[in-house]
Structure 1
C-alpha cells in the first residue's frame, strides 16, 4: 500500500532530511507537499473501501461516480489513485477491476483468475479473503503443483499470515486453508505417504482446475508485480500434478 507514485519522493525527502539533520527552514512549500501526500494517501484508502463496497453489493461503478464520491478535490490525481487502488484490490483482496464500457468508463469488480468464490465470510468479517486463496493457488503452481505445507506457511509469512494467528483481513488462516477451501474443493490437503512424523502438502482441488489454470495463476502474479511474462506462453495450460502421484 506504500508503493504508489507519490510515496517515493516523500520517503526520499524524509530520508535525505534524516541524513542531513533536521531542516530548520521548513518552508511553506514543504508543508504543502506533506499535506498533499497525506491527503492522497487518505483518498487512496477511501477508494479501496469504496471499491470493496461495490464488490460486496455486486454493483458496477463509473469514473464519474468515483470522481464525485471519492476523489473530489484531487481529480488531477485520479490516474495514480485509481491505479494504486486497482493494484491493492488485486494483490490484497484477489479482486480484478474490469472495464466493461470504455466510452463510459464503467467498471465491474470480479474475483481474480475467474474463480466463482466471492470470499465474503459468513461471520460478518469486513473484508473478502479471496486474496489469500489466489495467493495459495499460485504458490502451489510455482511449487510444481504440489506444495509442502512448510513452503506454504513460509510464503504466507511474507504477507504477515501465520499458522494459528488471526489475520485482520483474512481471519484464521488454518481453518480456511485446511478445511473451508478443501470442502469448497479449491484445495487438496493430504498427508505425504511414508512420512513419520507426518508431513502434509497442498494441491489444487477439482474446482480450481475447473475454474482456472496454472498459466492464469502465474500470469496473474507476474502481471500485478509488473514483471516480464514473455516466457509464459510456453507453459502448460493446466496443472501437471497427478492426483495419483504417490500411487
Structure 2
C-alpha cells in the first residue's frame, strides 16, 4: 500500500510522535502559526459569511489549514467529506469559501498547493509549489513549511535583474511582518533562513556586491533552485496569484490599476 493511500488511523500524528513536553510546545507553535496564517486573508464578502464574526472565520480557516498541513506532512490524501466531518462539522455551508481561502493562504505563505485528484469524490493531495523540495524534511512535524517564502524571494530576485540587493529583500519582507532579528511564528529568524539554511541547501546565493565599499550584499538564485523550478514557472505562478486576487477583490484591483496608470 502506498503512503498516499494509507488510512488516517494507520498514520501517527506528527504532534503525537513527539515526547509530552515537545508535543505541547509544537502544538502551541502550530496553533499560533495557523491562526497567524488565517489572518493573511480577509473574509469573503459572500452573504452567508457576513453573519459570522471575523474571529470565527479565522478560527475555521486556521483549523482547516492545520488539518491540511498534517495531511501534507503525513503524505496523505484527504477528501471534502473528511474535512467536513473532522474540521467544519456544524459549519458545512461555509466550506466552499473557507476551503478556498485556506488553500490560497497555504499556497502563498507555506508554498503548499492543494490539488484535486478526483473531481467526482472531491479528493485532494497537498504538494509543494513549483516542485520545490525544501520542505521534504518536515515529515517529522518539526517545522512549518516555508516554500512560499522561498518562491517570494526567487521572484524578487527575478524582478531585480536576477540579483536582488539585500536591502530590497529585507524591505519587502518587513512589509509582510518578517523582520531581521525577530523570530517569525512560521519562518523563524529570516536572516538565518536566507543567508545560511537556503544558501547551504543551494536554493540561494548570498554574496558581496563586487567592488562595493562599504560592503553591500545581494541574493541570486542558487543551483538547486534552477534544478527544481524555472523562471517561467515562477512567473506563471505569480500571474496566477495576481489573477486570482483580481477576481477576489476587483474594486481594490481597479483602484490599484488607476494608481499605476497615474504614476506612469
Where on the TM-score scale, by shorter chain, does this alignment land: which range? 0.7 to 0.9
Alpha-carbon displacement from aligned partner over 1:187-230 (angstroms, at most 9, x marks no partner): 111111100111111110111001111121122223223267xx
**What is the match of residue 79 of structure 2?**
62
The two structures have a TM-score, normalised by structure 2, of 0.71
Secondary structure, aligned partner of 2:82: helix
Structure 1 residue 214 and structure 2 residue 228: aligned? no
**What is the match of residue 155 of structure 2?**
138
Distance in 2, matches of 1:49 and 1:200, equals: 37
- Taking the TM superposition and a 5 Å limit, the aligned residue runs for 1:46-195 are 46-118=63-135, 125-195=142-212
Larger radius of gyration: 1
**What is the match of residue 3 of structure 1?**
42
Given that 1:191 and 1:201 are in contact with CA atoms closer than 8 Å, whether structure 2 keeps it comes out as: yes
Distance in 1, matches of 2:183 and 2:137, equals: 16
Cα distance 1:124–1:51, how it changes in 2: closer, same or farther (>3 A)?
closer
Distance in 2, matches of 1:81 and 1:223, equals: 20
**What is the match of residue 12 of structure 2?**
none
- RMSD, aligned CA: 2.5
The two structures have a TM-score, normalised by structure 1, of 0.76
Structure 2 runs not aligned, ≥5 long: 1-39, 247-264
Given that 1:142 and 1:218 are in contact with CA atoms closer than 8 Å, whether structure 2 keeps it comes out as: no
Secondary structure, aligned partner of 2:235: helix
Judging by fraction of residues, say which structure has more helix.
2
Distance in 2, matches of 1:227 and 1:38, equals: 22
Secondary structure, aligned partner of 1:188: strand
